[in-house]
Structure 1
Amino acid sequence: MRSVVDSLLQEDLESELRSNYQWRYLIDQKKMAVGIVDLSNPANGRFARINGSYMMYAASLPKIATLLAAMDAIEEGELIETPEVKKDMRLMISKSNNQASTRMIDRVGYEKLEAVMTDPKYNHFY
């Protein structure tokens, strides 16, 4: 993963997180990890992380997989990006909304989730 870290994004992330005393303490104690993927330009995704080599449980990690599967389905023409789909994706990620997540899983399907999570083109994301 080190090879895909964007140095400028990494510097910005470290500066922002370390400016908060409590976050800095948690990071130094290996009790906080942050990973960020900037897909504002999908052809040139950028990645940065803090404590990225340490395994930590992320409560909403399955929602990220669902979002990736939904975005893949939209790109492949398997899912139409309606206002309702966009709203549910936003709620699922920004508010960790379980109902929105369930609706997105219902739209995408478990087979698509499995296919995306085992697709070699996404190996660098996990």
Structure 2
Amino acid sequence: MIPACGADSACPSLWTCSDPVLQQGLEARIDALSFRPAVADKSLCVALVDITDPVDPRMASLNGNQMMYAASLPKIAILLGAFERISRGEMALDRDTRDTLTRMIRNSSNSAATEMLNRVGRSFLLNLLQSPRYRLYDPDYNGGIWVGKPYGKSPAWKRDPLCNLSHGATVLQVARFYYLLENGRLVSPELSREMKAILGKPAIHHKFVRGLESARRNAEIYRKSGTWKQFHADSAIVERDGRRYIAVALARSPEGGRWLSRLIVALDDLIFAYLPDRYSQAADAPSS
């Protein structure tokens, strides 16, 4: 069964939106960066979704359904859980709550994440991620976003059932999270806008942010990253010069952070080389 954009939505499933031209372009840029061996041994996973037209997304991916340890990236799930509680009147979006959520996302504070996880409820969050409405963790697609451990020294209370990860993700399920967010399908349109605002103005300037700040200074980025030992993750909605896209990458390498800084510039190039209504425009040749 293919997950739709949302249970109450008519927007398409990203699993049905794979675009062969964008896919060819992604593979060409991976080769130009010499990342093909990392893709082949599944130590690099990438998803790219052009959402310039949000009701007609165009997607490309490599190892899209590969579960990987994602460090702090799954804190986006805690953000969703908090806003679900807020929508039900079970939590107030007061200054303290907003500040804690902001520190959790922009500064990647582990203490803020654990505080919010405890307020949201562990079982509540995992049930929400697996719910028919969201299906952000779906065994039919090799899992997805999972938070089975506080962010700190406490042991895991429930690892994901497929890959035994405490904090896991697949790039396509993370891309779905951002696609739902952009379409106002996370909780409600109003609260989706609140979540997106919290994802803006990142305070940690590495990986995707470093790459874009160096090469694309006018890019607006709404983002959550993660780092633990050799595991590096980044995910974002990027808006620049009238184009909008989702980029997600998971890497397992000591060089992973540098990979992602280079990768995001190549993905940005690809989005701007690729014109959906003009397939004669080549998207498979890396820009100089």
Which category of TM-score, normalised to the shorter sequence, fits these structures? 0.5 to 0.7
Q: Once the two structures are aligned, what percentage of the paired residues are identical?
A: 35
Conservation of the 8 A alpha-carbon contact between 1:63 and 1:93: yes
Q: What's 2:119 paired with? A: 107
Moved more, 46-55 or 100-109: 46-55
**What's the offset of the Cα at 1:69?**
1.0
Match of 1:77 among 69, 75, 89: 89
* Residue type at the aligned position of 1:65: A
Conservation of the 8 A alpha-carbon contact between 1:65 and 1:117: yes
Higher helix share: 1
- Partner secondary structure for residue 65 of structure 1: helix
Determine the C-alpha separation between the residues in 2 that align with 1:107 and 1:60: 18
- Partner secondary structure for residue 90 of structure 2: coil
- Cα distance change of structure 1 residues 56 and 111 upon mapping to structure 2, 3 Å threshold: closer
Determine the C-alpha separation between the residues in 1 that align with 2:58 and 2:98: 23
Matched, 1:4 2:14: yes
Higher strand share: 2
TM-score relative to the length of structure 2: 0.31
Determine the C-alpha separation between the residues in 1 that align with 2:84 and 2:119: 13
* Residue type at the aligned position of 1:4: L
**What's the offset of the Cα at 1:87?**
2.5
Q: Which entry has the higher C-alpha Rg, 1 or 2?
A: 2
Quick one: higher RCO (CA 8 Å, sep 6+), 1 or 2? 2
- Partner secondary structure for residue 72 of structure 1: helix
Matched, 1:58 2:64: no
Q: What's 1:21 paired with? A: 33
Conservation of the 8 A alpha-carbon contact between 1:35 and 1:47: no
Matched, 1:67 2:68: no
- Cα distance change of structure 1 residues 101 and 53 upon mapping to structure 2, 3 Å threshold: same
Mind listing any 5+ residue stretches in structure 1 that lack a counterpart? Answer: 38-43
**What's the offset of the Cα at 1:50?**
4.5
Determine the C-alpha separation between the residues in 1 that align with 2:98 and 2:45: 27
Determine the C-alpha separation between the residues in 1 that align with 2:76 and 2:119: 15
Mind listing any 5+ residue stretches in structure 2 that lack a counterpart? Answer: 4-12, 50-54, 138-288
Determine the C-alpha separation between the residues in 2 that align with 1:83 and 1:22: 46
Q: Figure out how many residues of one structure are paired with residues of the other and give that number.
A: 118
Q: What's 1:30 paired with? A: 42
State the Cα RMSD in Å: 4.0
